[in-house]
Amino acid sequence: MVTSLPPRSTIPVEETWDLSSLYNSSDNFNLALESLEQEAEDLNQKFQGQIVNASTIILVLTDYMAFLEKLVLLSTHANLSASTDQTDDKAQLQSSKFGAAAAKIGSTLSFITSELLTLPKETVEQAIEESAEFNVFLKKLLRKKPYQLHPEAEKSLAAYSSTFNAPYGLYNTTKMVDMNFEDFEVNGQQYPLSYVSFEGDWEAEPDTEIRRAAFDAFSKKLKDYQHTTAKTYDIQLQTEKTTADLRGYDSIFDYLLFNQEVNRSLYDRQIDLITKELAPHMQKYAKLLQKVHGLDRMTFADLKISLDPSYEPEITVEESKQYIDDALAIMGPDYIEMVDRSYSERWIDFAQNKGKSTGAFCSSPYGNHPYILISWTGRMNEVFVLAHELGHAGHFYNANREQNILNARPSLYFIEAPSTMNEMLVANHLLKNSGDLKFKRWVISSIVARTYYHNFVTHLLEAAYQRKVYERIDAGQSVNAGILNTIKRSVLEEFWGDAVDITDGAELTWMRQPHYYLGLYPYTYSAGLTISTQVSKRILNEGQPAVDEWLEVLKAGGTKSPVELAQMAGVDITTEQPLRDTISYIGELVDELVRLTNEIEAE
């Protein structure tokens, strides 16, 4: 039974993460922040106007790299402290204080990039030849040269960075602090509702009347905040458009895709092919859900239900560790040691509490271990979620050890490949150990409903919606709640056709995702899963050689482009074939679910 969320102060410590390896007190945090602000001034005094040749390039980047390692730890502590309780004034003020200081630091040190890019290209290329440590960073920097502004303009923009980031913070405040959900009632009984309980429990509630009532109550509260949230989002969009224009990009898409190191064709391909070719498979899946559950009609509120709720085992945190250890054992002892440490050393925040960020994420600060946020519901589905986040952790656990801080982070396009890979490994492990028809159906339905639905449907439809929004912004227009609702509804109706009734409230799902404040992020989930689906097949068929190649990909970090990283793993994403193969594989899974259901019902 879902209960009201408790305040953070009442949560048992073992359900929370331990941030003390970052900073063990607010006093130490404040002292470190003050020290770093002074260090930024010292770097400015030491190097501004002095970056004139290859040797001084190497000197300034050596000091800058050491500086960034300290900055990352402060940033991580500020963000993670705030993420577990948006109602904690102390944590929120600390986060705001860091944001202001980081903006000042960024402005103080903006001269580094400006001076590097005003040097003759030959000078930078000489530094690239002389320093293996910085050659990747400098090559990427040279790509930015056409879009670099005057040093004083860069300094001013850096000073405003906390203001430019404000919409994301405002979105979270609206969502996690101001938005309080009343209980909803079904047949005279009251049920508690919150963001976490809706997305973690009520969306998958087997009782149709309760599930749909929860959806209606949840949507009603979202609607109360639609205009504020739309205005917040429009500020984000207009800021991005202004930045793209100022820097001279041809479009807002070119600006947002630049750092991803992929062109528009790879972006459009993910959205266009999946929208067109995956839709029939998912419509068949929706109709299967409707048939099995005996629903009068299939509504948007019914799409997250389990195919067989009786085969949704409850699972404790302790039990999840054994599942994950067994499933990921193929990755080797070093990887499993990381997984085990994440439990024993409290890298994971499992708690459900009021004010906590929704969903799940992994933060992997350079020079420290990863941290994972999740709201544990006890559903078996959480094993896939946790494996996903441990995939991010394993990626940066390897990359951070092998690369310097400037080279560790790969393109956003590739970022979801290691995470979704772990979901595939869990699925493959469970399938290998499933003899019972119902258990096999439950495993396959988990792959479809969790791994592929989440990454290839939920996030992909976000991407299709987001593209339509950016097309408006690129044309010099703005958005409001009515426009966003209309766009979202049209995307949902196009994908689901007559298989799903897009009921009132479905159009408000644009309000639920923070991804829209992170650039062109949503489509990268399907891009990453396309890569990991192909690599997981290789691991199934080839075993250790494919695993070894994948581990080398993880260690490469950001030293290669997404195309090169995929090639290292044996996948050619310059063609449509990997994506078409993945869509075909999803279709085969859905067909298998239909076959198994018919076989089970015939018994």
CATH number, position 527: 1.10.1370.20
Domain boundary (118, 141, 164) is at 164
Query: Is 414 among the domain residues?
Result: yes
For residues 444-470, average pLDDT? 91
For residues 64-76, average pLDDT? 97
Question: What whole-number distance in Å separates Cα of residue 510 and Cα of residue 232?
Answer: 13
CATH number, position 138: 1.20.140.70
Query: Is 398 among the domain residues?
Result: yes
Query: Is 287 among the domain residues?
Result: yes
Q: Look up residue 515 and give its two tokens.
A: 């991804």
Q: Look up residue 500 and give its two tokens.
A: 């799903």
Domain boundary (164, 192, 210) is at 164
For residues 351-380, average pLDDT? 91
- At residue 436 the predicted structure's pLDDT band, cuts being 50, 70 and 90, is confident
Residues 148 and 281 in one domain: no
Q: What are the CA-CA distances from residue 371 to residues 14, 375, 381 (Å)?
A: 14, 14, 20
Query: Is 366 among the domain residues?
Result: no
Query: Is 178 among the domain residues?
Result: no
CA-CA-CA-CA torsion for 408, 414, 416, 422, nearest 10 degrees? -80
Domain count, the chain: 2
Query: Is 407 among the domain residues?
Result: yes
* Residue 530 domain boundaries: 276-345+379-602
Residues 159 and 305 in one domain: no
Residues 441 and 302 in one domain: yes
Q: What percent of the chain has pLDDT over 70?
A: 99
Residues 329 and 472 in one domain: yes
Between 333-344 and 317-328, two packed helices, what is the crossing angle to 10 degrees? 170
Domain boundary (123, 142, 164) is at 164
Tens digit of each residue's pLDDT (9 = 90 or more) over 185-229: 999 999 999 988 898 889 989 999 999 999 999 999 999 999 999
Between 523-542 and 577-602, two packed helices, what is the crossing angle to 10 degrees? 70
Question: What whole-number distance in Å separates Cα of residue 351 and Cα of residue 452?
Answer: 26
Tens digit of each residue's pLDDT (9 = 90 or more) over 384-408: 999 999 999 999 999 999 999 999 9
Residues 384 and 530 in one domain: yes
pLDDT value of residue 2: 56
The one-character DSSP state at 364 is: -
Query: Is 532 among the domain residues?
Result: yes
Q: What is the pTM of this model?
A: 0.88
Residues 281 and 155 in one domain: no
Query: Is 37 among the domain residues?
Result: yes
